Amino acid sequence: MVKTADLSLTVSSSGSGGGGGGGGSAGATWTVRLLGNNLLGVAYGNDTFVAVGDEGAILTSRDGGVTWTVAVSGTRYTLRAVAYGNGLFVAVGDSGTILTSSDGVAWTERTSGTSNALLGIAYGN
């Protein structure tokens, strides 16, 4: 089942050379989208924005942030950060939570070996 979310996130338009539908405003134009969740991290990859936040919230957008769809994370722990690299989204959060997804929609829980909160993640090449 796909649900459309109404949340609170600000997404910038793309500058020159981007494909985000910002009309070439180079960041001068911003649109506020009202969403209901407290979101803590956002990443872009594979033509998809993924935002993560409180109580396992994951939202995706494939149209530059105009519409957002709720993805099922499988966790109630707060997700604090998300990154994209090498064809994979990775989200991390409280109680050592690590989730991975190739498309931002279907998520798999991974073992971290810690119960500490994971506050950030980055892709290194």
| pLDDT tens sequence across 25-59 | 555 666 666 556 799 999 999 999 999 999 999 99
Say if pTM beats, i.e. exceeds, 0.85: no
| pLDDT tens sequence across 51-64 | 999 999 999 999 99
Q: Return the biggest CA–CA distance within the chain.
A: 46
- Please give the CATH topology (third level) of the domain spanning 3-9+31-110: Thrombin, subunit H (2.40.10)
Q: How far is CA 110 from each of CA 14, 28, 48, rounded to the nearest angstrom?
A: 33, 40, 22
| Residues 6 or more apart in contact with residue 78 via CB below 8 angstroms | 40, 53, 54, 55, 56, 93, 94
Q: In angstroms, how far is CA 25 from the centroid of its own chain?
A: 24
Q: Where are the domains of the chain?
A: 3-9+31-110
| pLDDT tens sequence across 92-120 | 999 999 999 999 999 999 999 999 999 99
The whole-angstrom separation of Cα 19 and Cα 87 is 19
